Structure 1
Amino acid sequence: MLWITLMLLILVCFSTSQAADYCEDVIRDCQQHPTNWTRCYEDRIAICRPRSRLFQGFFRQRVNSSQETEASPTNKHRVQIPSSALQKSRGPASEEEVLVVATVINSTYFQQSPPLRKERRLLPLQPMVNFGTVLGGLVLVVRAGNCPVRNLTQPIKLFFSHDKMVGKGTCMFWQVSEDASGAGQWSADGCITSNTGAEFICSCNHLSFFAVLVNPDISVDERNVVNLDYITYVGSSLSVLFAFIGFFIYVGLQRLRPEKAIGIHLQLTVALFCLHLGFLLCSFWVLLLNETEDSWVCRGLGLFLHWSLLATFTWLALEGFHLYLLLIRVFNIYVRKYLLKLSLVGWGLPTLVAVVCGILGVYGKYDLEYKDSNNHTSRSHICWLSSGFAQRRAVGYVTVAFLCLVTLYNSCMLVLVVFKLWKIRGGQRGYENSSDWKKMMKEKGPRLWKDCATVLSLSWVLGLPWGVASTTYLEVSLPGIYIFTILNSLQGVFMFLWSLALSCKSRSGSNSSVNDPSSQKMMTTSFKN
């Protein structure tokens, strides 16, 4: 009886272990240990057994290590492994055959932790970009031998076929993060991508979990990084210079015509001056001194940059609010000490937020990552939100959310401006004879251009070029990043041009008001107590 009991226990344990070794159950079992589930999966697929002969997407075979091997787990996934890689996978063993396993798994099992390179989105003059989606939703896993295969001189080739038109793609492998979360990120290190139109060919110098990411995060390589840096630094320097000049022009206009709109333009110009000056100081401080740790100067510069960025957004919102009062409320409202109250909001709110963040220790040296010409990861630094602060991303996202709200509100205000112009033009069509009608047609072209120039100028004053940043949550191209950088690094120049337009309009006197009252109203944007 004892022997029968022991045999039953052995059979139960054996059947349980065999059930756990079914290939269909490996991914589920390894997911229960997320600290290093990819290593668990690689080990288990070498010894698991398919529950059914109809099990698809799985290739396992012992092959001769002296010959190139090809494995095709599916009709859309194929891998060619050179003999040098197979021999390296043997390690010190002298056996001629090695085990090769190739399979595909669903990409939803890969919990992505954002890489440092994506953190670039939190910078004030850089956009956010979309990381992309896995082609077909499948990840190709390749395993050979018993030893890790890395730094191959003769790369392996992976083929990902597609039967429809797709965007551009990049070959990447899954890199597990160093923490115990089990998460990771997609990396292109060691892989070169080529596209024949019918399939993506990945040439990689190692074995791992591979996928093709379609419409991936823009690969801002070393050359593009240098170009964008030059554009940003030159544009910001011009903005500092012309914003400084525009400040004195607005001061002169304020003395000639004490209008509230000019006062708001003046405050916005000061905020833009501080923003671009702060950006240059934060960039060059770390670049020149090459500090390895946060200093009180870098923390102070990071606070100043964040404060000036918030102040710029706030004054852009107040520009839209003032335009709302002019267009909707007009003479139906009276606000005592109107400009003073706007100044308390425009400067007080950013100061309050920056002080709170400074007390919490948000600011310091921020690390950026990008790919150099050899496809290696390089780093640069700036005084901004400290990389060592755990809630850095939350502060950055709140800042971006504030920008999106301001852009949305000011876009609505610009639509109201266009509607008002159209309504005013429609009310001026009551002509009594043909001569008036001919005169109207003759003036229609110049008026149209003048209205377009007015609306375009107001879009700069309302900060709508910042709205390009919101589109980078979606698919964005490298030219889009260049456009964003150029437009926003030159905002100080645009405010200077607006001051010149107002100055020229002021010199034209009352004749401009008689000839074109609607455009004059849009240009002066006066709101008096």
Structure 2
Amino acid sequence: MQETVLGDLVLFLKAGTQPVSNLTEPVQLFFKHDIGEKSGRCVFWKESDPMHEAGKWSTEGCETTKTDEEFICSCNHLSFFAVLVNPNLKVDESSAKTLSYITYVGSALSAFFAFGSLFIYVHLHRRRPEKALGIHMQLTGALLCLHLGFLSSSFWIYLLKEEQGGWVCRGLGFFLHWSLLATFTWIALEGFHLYLLLIRVFNIYVSRYLLKLSIVGWGFPTLVAVICGSLGVYGRYTLEIRDSNNNTSPSQICWMSSEFQQRHVVSYITLAFLCLTVLYNTCMLLVVVFKVWKIRGGQRDYECSDWKKTNSNKWSRLWKDGTTVLGLSWVLGLPWGLASLTYATLSGIYIFTIFNSLQGVFMFLWAVALSCKSRSEMNSSVRDPSTQKIMTTSFN
């Protein structure tokens, strides 16, 4: 979670011209806070040294005491002091460990099931080569790369010493960012293809359609990742986790280097791309719901003379339509929109972590559903060859 300086207030204490440290009696500073501030930590500005490119906030030599109205900072040296707060939420060390276990287990399951989904799509595509299946295959491949990249970046760094493996970590950070962008891009292309099916209907012929989508789906992430890599964006990323006593423990991953000063700019651009993708695909899902509702309304007009039949099929259709919309929401990546919940409550973080770490599992269920639907329609076409064209259109 991103921390901010309490009240944008920084206090500077100085005595003479020489640095003052290791005081026997700590100096105390009082920072008033609002009632909504649930947690905070006293920090000072640690200036740059030969081992770091820039300065950073540090808690060394400072202790934090919180009252109903103030943060009391007790420090054994003089410097620039402030209180870093996160007014929205505090994730303690215990919750951070639990979330990490959920993420690792869910990501491993997603990688396994995404691999299985690829086999299903390849089998379906051989029987019935369709554009939608080709796009599903590409998205599943990107999702598989994303989870493998995350697991590799998380666990490989524990096998390296602090001074070793710099180029390996940069490579893993590059692969993780590239696969994340590729996943977002193919999710956006899923929404674009859905737009063509719903708005353009049958007038969607594009020469070498899948090839052009593949150039965009894999070319755009590669271009962005190569530019970021040439700028030195990737490396070790360190996240400080606080326990109940405000003691910090570092957690590292091969991602965007903490020492790269413009890392936040790249992160915000990536986040903006995700937000635009989720917003666009949400609109496409709403169009799907509207189209289904309109079709069902027309069917009800034809069936109004047979009330019993209509009533018996009502819940069956509602269930099928609901599962279809739910499955499309996973394909369109809408669970990524749950990231907004992470700024509200700890429960929101758990919901976001569980749903997105298991995205590969839900994609596998969608692939199984398509396989069952395809098998059912093939059997129907064998029994009644005249329905084959209608079933193909329905499957698309």
Band the TM-score falls in, shorter-chain normalisation: 0.7 to 0.9
8 A Cα contact 2:46 2:58, kept in partner: no
Q: 1:282 to 1:161 in 2, by over 3 A?
A: closer
Identity of aligned residues (%): 59
8 A Cα contact 2:39 2:90, kept in partner: no
Q: Which has the higher helix share?
A: 2
After superposition, where does 1:222-261 map in structure 2 within 5 Å? 222-261=93-132
TM-fit CA distance, 1:184 = 7.7
Is 1:499 the counterpart of 2:373? The answer is no
Is 1:295 the counterpart of 2:295? The answer is no
TM-fit CA distance, 1:233 = 0.9
8 A Cα contact 2:36 2:87, kept in partner: no
Give a deviation string over 1:353-383, Cα, whole Å, max 9, x none: 2222222322222222112454222212211
TM-fit CA distance, 1:500 = 0.5
8 A Cα contact 2:5 2:82, kept in partner: no
TM-fit CA distance, 1:277 = 0.3
Name 1:285's counterpart in structure 2.
Answer: 156
- Please give the alpha-carbon distance, in whole angstroms, between the structure 1 residues aligned to 2:45 and 2:234: 28
| One-letter identity of the residue aligned with 1:178 | E
TM-fit CA distance, 1:176 = 3.2
Is 1:451 the counterpart of 2:321? The answer is yes
Is 1:362 the counterpart of 2:362? The answer is no
TM-fit CA distance, 1:389 = 2.6
Q: Secondary structure at the match of 1:422?
A: helix
Is 1:468 the counterpart of 2:338? The answer is yes
- Unmatched runs of 5 consecutive residues or more in structure 2: 50-54
Name 2:45's counterpart in structure 1.
Answer: 176
Q: 1:468 to 1:327 in 2, by over 3 A?
A: same
How well do the aligned residues superpose, as a CA RMSD in angstroms?
A: 3.7
After superposition, where does 1:263-282 map in structure 2 within 5 Å? 263-282=134-153
After superposition, where does 1:102-141 map in structure 2 within 5 Å? 129=1, 131=3
Q: 1:441 to 1:293 in 2, by over 3 A?
A: same
Q: Secondary structure at the match of 2:301?
A: coil
- Please give the alpha-carbon distance, in whole angstroms, between the structure 2 residues aligned to 1:266 and 1:303: 23
| One-letter identity of the residue aligned with 2:146 | L
TM-fit CA distance, 1:157 = 11
TM-fit CA distance, 1:287 = 0.8
- Please give the alpha-carbon distance, in whole angstroms, between the structure 1 residues aligned to 2:10 and 2:168: 48
The more displaced of 204-213 and 294-303 is: 204-213
- The structure with the larger Rg is 1
8 A Cα contact 1:302 1:383, kept in partner: yes
Q: Secondary structure at the match of 1:255?
A: helix
- Please give the alpha-carbon distance, in whole angstroms, between the structure 2 residues aligned to 1:294 and 1:396: 23
| One-letter identity of the residue aligned with 1:476 | A
8 A Cα contact 1:130 1:217, kept in partner: no
| One-letter identity of the residue aligned with 2:64 | C
8 A Cα contact 2:242 2:249, kept in partner: yes
- Please give the alpha-carbon distance, in whole angstroms, between the structure 1 residues aligned to 2:98 and 2:275: 27
Q: Secondary structure at the match of 2:275?
A: helix
Give a deviation string over 1:385-431, Cα, whole Å, max 9, x none: 22233332222222111111111111111111111111111111224
Which of 468, 486, 489 aligns to 2:354? It is 486
Name 2:52's counterpart in structure 1.
Answer: none
| One-letter identity of the residue aligned with 1:453 | T
Is 1:441 the counterpart of 2:325? The answer is no
Q: TM-score w.r.t. structure 2 length?
A: 0.82
- Please give the alpha-carbon distance, in whole angstroms, between the structure 1 residues aligned to 2:137 and 2:345: 35
Is 1:406 the counterpart of 2:277? The answer is yes
TM-fit CA distance, 1:447 = 1.1
Q: 1:362 to 1:523 in 2, by over 3 A?
A: farther
Name 1:86's counterpart in structure 2.
Answer: none
- Unmatched runs of 5 consecutive residues or more in structure 1: 1-128
| One-letter identity of the residue aligned with 1:269 | T
Name 1:508's counterpart in structure 2.
Answer: 376
Which of 174, 182, 203 aligns to 1:311? It is 182
| One-letter identity of the residue aligned with 1:498 | W
- Please give the alpha-carbon distance, in whole angstroms, between the structure 1 residues aligned to 2:130 and 2:24: 68
8 A Cα contact 2:233 2:263, kept in partner: yes
TM-fit CA distance, 1:141 = 8.0
Q: Which has the higher contact order (CA 8 A, sep 6+)?
A: 2
Name 1:190's counterpart in structure 2.
Answer: 63
Q: 1:186 to 1:324 in 2, by over 3 A?
A: farther
After superposition, where does 1:364-403 map in structure 2 within 5 Å? 364-372=235-243, 374-403=245-274
- Please give the alpha-carbon distance, in whole angstroms, between the structure 1 residues aligned to 2:218 and 2:12: 57
Q: 1:152 to 1:319 in 2, by over 3 A?
A: farther
8 A Cα contact 2:143 2:360, kept in partner: yes
Give a deviation string over 1:307-362, Cα, whole Å, max 9, x none: 11111011001000000000000112311111111111111111122222222322
Give a deviation string over 1:3-31, Cα, whole Å, max 9, x none: xxxxxxxxxxxxxxxxxxxxxxxxxxxxx
Give a deviation string over 1:146-178, Cα, whole Å, max 9, x none: 99897979x98979697xxx5452244463352
Q: 1:430 to 1:385 in 2, by over 3 A?
A: same
After superposition, where does 1:417-428 map in structure 2 within 5 Å? 417-428=288-299
8 A Cα contact 1:454 1:523, kept in partner: no
| One-letter identity of the residue aligned with 1:223 | S
- Please give the alpha-carbon distance, in whole angstroms, between the structure 1 residues aligned to 2:393 and 2:30: 61
Name 1:18's counterpart in structure 2.
Answer: none
Q: How many residue pairs align between the two structures?
A: 377
Q: TM-score w.r.t. structure 1 length?
A: 0.63
- Please give the alpha-carbon distance, in whole angstroms, between the structure 1 residues aligned to 2:360 and 2:241: 28
Q: 1:296 to 1:160 in 2, by over 3 A?
A: closer
The more displaced of 310-319 and 483-492 is: 483-492
8 A Cα contact 2:170 2:255, kept in partner: yes
After superposition, where does 1:321-360 map in structure 2 within 5 Å? 321-360=192-231
